[in-house]
Amino acid sequence: MCGIFGYIGHKDAAKVAIAGLKRLEYRGYDSSGIAGIQDGEIVYCKKAGKIAVMEKAVKKKGYNLNVAIAHTRWATHGKATEKNAHPHLDSNKTLAVVHNGIIENHDTLRTMLEEKGVTFVSETDTEVIAHLISDIYDGDILAAVQKALPLMEGSFAIALVHKNHPEEIVVAARENPLAIGIGDGETFISSDTNSFVAHTKKVVFIKDDEVAVVKAKGIKIYDHAKEPVKKKTETLTMTQGEVSKDGYEHFMLKEIYEQPQTIRNALLSRFIEKDGTVVLEDMTFSEEELLEVERIVILACGTSWHAGIIGGYIIEDKARIPVQVEISSEFRYKNPILYDNTLVIAISQSGETADTIAAMKECRAKGAKILGICNVHGSTIAREADSCLFLRAGTEIGVASTKAFTSQLVVLALFALSMARMRKAISKKEGKEFIHELMKLPVIVENVLANAKDIKKIAKKYAKYDNFFFIGRRYMFPSSLEGALKLKEISYINANAYPAGEMKHGPIALINKKSPIVAFFANKHTYEKMLSNVMEVKARNGRVIAIASKGMGKAAKIADDIIWVPKICDELAPIPSSVAAQLLAYYIAYERGTEIDQPRNLAKSVTVE
């Protein structure tokens, strides 16, 4: 979940690398560092804390570099200290390496190197890479890296510089994203193309166990057998302007307010209203292949898992296909059973979630077809899936996902409608009605956002509490899971979500005046049952914040506070309710003074298992 950036060319390499690193800070912000070659020697600087701390130190050193590698860290092995920050060097300071991922056999390699007299100075698995390559090196840095890779178990992306090879950076990857941007007399390396898109849109992606020698005016790539590889140069479509705060105090708030437009983007040109059906231009599966689908398995983590649960409900309701929704990190260890005609849907905002990619590969090995749903063109899931539907949500910088979540729900709803109409599970009239509901969403979300001041007042009232419950039924249960996650992520409040009917089977024992309950009412089918469940809470002195559709007057009578959302069909009600919950979480976190865009211990792109 760390971020790697490298630059070689005619510009100030330290300045370019630090600017690129700032655009990767969402991937980790425990510590950062930079290394390069100056006057034939490795120079480096690394600091604990945000990139700005390291940047200040680098300016004082006054480096003059035309090659640099840089890193922003999310700690895995070793605490977030200066000595554990990247880059890591070998004992003689002949090379420096930055790394994203996990070296699973680092203990074995460390022991082997210590027996050769190597002294380690950090707790990290990354330092093993520096010493290992240095131990193998005999004048050919490419050969040393190629020999080291088979000795390293795990997943990783690495970039290194060596003082004897001052005009090149050597990079390698295995099950971790690494992109090379090709400019005019300059070359960029990064974990995310977003970090160099302002300089070039020409990109090459490094695949498993490929090694590249990167120079200012060209690259050479070799496969695991050390044979040269010809790579296709791709062209990025994103622009730098997508990552500006545009006057908002936080990226998260900006992204919450972007949702009317991102929902429009997700819907654009993807349905035929008069026919009550859907056209997914990204879909490469034929109608015959989709008609053969008898079962769907959805794989995802975190927020994407919550979207997957809701999407699974919609698919079952509309298309009448059985759906199994699995947490990716658990699925691959289950010895899963995948019948013929099973379609696997892998959902990830970044397209780089390691657990989901690993689970996806497990399914592919068992013969399943894979449909990806992600937000990033050129990501691993986008490249590895048999077909991929894109969210069109634009770059999401806030660690706590908002607009990507609602876009995932829209894309899943469109897919469900497509399958339903294809299989004649619903009529043309029913298809048109569902499309009309989808078309209402942007305005409905705008109406929720118009009530932000009222939500802010409620948030201020409840921000002092350290324990929350979120409850809902049917479509509102996974919505409550997502609402609780948002509050946990950015306010550090202990927020737990339950199906409302399960409260009386244990959790109700914890209800008290100091543990508010956020109750999601906006599912018409279960409204009366929710009223009964909330009355059980009120009978035990619980304080209730209701999120309810307009017209649900009984909810207002029993709740202590209420957030109104516009009416919409049950299948799509999670969207306005979730936007309301996003605002509630944001304003509670704001009131508590937490770091909203970069909450502690979290990273945006989870690229380790």
Catalytic residues: 2, 604
C-alpha–C-alpha distance, residues 36 and 456, integer Å? 48
DSSP state of 87: P
Following DSSP, what letter does each residue of 520-577 receive, concatenated? E---GGGHHHHHHHHHHHHTTT--EEEEEETT-HHHHHH-SEEEEE----TTTTHHHH
∠ CA 351-352-354 to the nearest 5 degrees?
Answer: 130
**Measured between alpha carbons, how far is residue 445 from residues 82, 250, 439, 570, 583 in Å?**
44, 19, 11, 15, 12
Tokens of 488: 């946990």
By DSSP bridging, strand 342-348 and strand 295-300 are parallel
Contact 118, 131 (CB under 8 A): yes
C-alpha–C-alpha distance, residues 86 and 240, integer Å? 27
Nearest to 186 by CA among 11, 19, 9, 16: 9
**Measured between alpha carbons, how far is residue 93 from residues 98, 125, 133, 157, 383 in Å?**
14, 18, 12, 21, 38
Count CA within 13 A, CB hemisphere, residue 164. Answer: 10
C-alpha–C-alpha distance, residues 20 and 76, integer Å? 22
DSSP state of 196: T
> In degrees to the nearest 10, what's the CA dihedral of 101, 107, 108, 112?
110
Which of 453-471 are b and which e, b meaning 16 or more Cβ less than 10 Å from the residue's Cβ?
A: eebbebbebbbebeebbbb
Contact 490, 586 (CB under 8 A): yes
Contact 172, 211 (CB under 8 A): yes
Count CA within 13 A, CB hemisphere, residue 213. Answer: 17
Contact 296, 322 (CB under 8 A): yes
Contact 247, 240 (CB under 8 A): no
The H or E element that residue 222 is part of is strand 218-222
C-alpha–C-alpha distance, residues 305 and 477, integer Å? 13
Phi, psi of 376 (to 5 degrees): -120, 115
**Measured between alpha carbons, how far is residue 593 from residues 251, 464, 596 in Å?**
15, 11, 8
